[in-house]
Structure 1
């Protein structure tokens, strides 16, 4: 199994841990941002991290691995490859997370939900709800980076390769805003 230090080294060497003033997808602000796309642009890193994340779910009978677009697509692909499972992704349509592109889940299928980074876990919770509405069984959550501080309960087991304590602030109480430092939105979803 890969160590926390090895995972952190991969992220740091890829330039994925950014410093500055960031608006997170959750709406909160932070002085650091984990840009997993910087790691996942390297197939050797994506493959290794996907294989390592899959280890927690080997022999669980996973039929489908699913992740939210954008961050979960490559992670789902690599975890699915390692598990020999079908891979899907959800997208937002009219503000709601949904399956599109002819993707389908069948009742009773065992589904692993994956994501690159979680802070509030909102997108993952939405994907879990999509899975349940279609009659499939969400059996777990796997993430590359958990920056929630251990506060998220998905109601199903979840595993992460890296837990990072990155401070975040309500925009109204953000010390970086008070200093007049402009916030940027580096992720894939605008708020």
Structure 2
């Protein structure tokens, strides 16, 4: 798995890392930005992310994975496809930022693949404060699913891990910012 992490780190730095003046979702200012969608939508990047998330979750008793649209969408697809290849098929769900406003008017899409109380993992591309991820968790719990794992590609190490822990979850990351920098250089 270390070789796969090195490959993903190189792709993340090449495709997703930008320096400059950025405002993050949390409202915080930053001199760097990780747009993980660029890597997650790359063929090898998608395969690597799906493979590594499946590895992180291999011993966790879950029936599916999901997260907040738009950042988690390619992560969910990659993880579910790889899970099928590995003989442990996981269903996926997507949490909307706003309910549709018509039809079922729900926040969580894909619930037909689940029953109330099913154990699931939440996926996120980047965690800074954890705010978006925790909002998605609230909506998933309200939809009747049991969140037993919370995973991210990158923990920016800016307080999100603690906020998620304070909410009762443990954050599992493919990389922390420091680990990503080290892996990309190796």
Normalised by the size of structure 1, how large is the TM-score? Answer: 0.76
**Displacement after TM superposition at 1:41 (Å):** 2.3
**What CA distance in whole angstroms lies between the structure 2 residues aligned with 1:25 and 1:35?**
12
Asked if 1:51 is matched to 2:60, the reply is no
Aligned to 1:110: 119
Q: Match for 1:128 among 127, 131, 137? A: 137
Residue 2 of structure 2: SS of its match in structure 1? coil
The structure with more helix, counted as a fraction of residues? 2
Partners of 1:107 and 1:135 within 8 A in 2: yes
**Displacement after TM superposition at 1:71 (Å):** 0.3
Residue 53 of structure 1: SS of its match in structure 2? helix
Aligned to 1:19: 19
Higher mean alpha-carbon deviation, 136-145 vs 104-113, is at: 104-113
Asked if 1:151 is matched to 2:151, the reply is no
**Displacement after TM superposition at 1:106 (Å):** 2.4
Residue by residue over 1:93-131, the C-alpha shift from the partner in whole angstroms, topping out at 9 and shown as x without a partner, is: 16xx9214x645421201100011111111111121112
Aligned to 1:40: 40
**Displacement after TM superposition at 1:5 (Å):** 4.4
Residue 93 of structure 1: SS of its match in structure 2? coil
Which has the bigger relative contact order, CA under 8 A and spacing at least 6? 1
**Displacement after TM superposition at 1:134 (Å):** 2.2
Residue 44 of structure 2: SS of its match in structure 1? helix
Aligned to 1:99: 108
| Count of aligned positions | 162
Aligned to 1:160: 173
Larger Rg: 1
- After superposition, the Cα gap between the structure-2 partners of 1:77 and 1:2, relative to the gap in structure 1 and judged at 3 Å, is farther
**Displacement after TM superposition at 1:37 (Å):** 1.6
Residue by residue over 1:50-74, the C-alpha shift from the partner in whole angstroms, topping out at 9 and shown as x without a partner, is: 2112212114231111111000011
Gaps of at least 5 residues in structure 2 are 84-88, 100-105, 179-186
**What CA distance in whole angstroms lies between the structure 2 residues aligned with 1:119 and 1:145?**
9
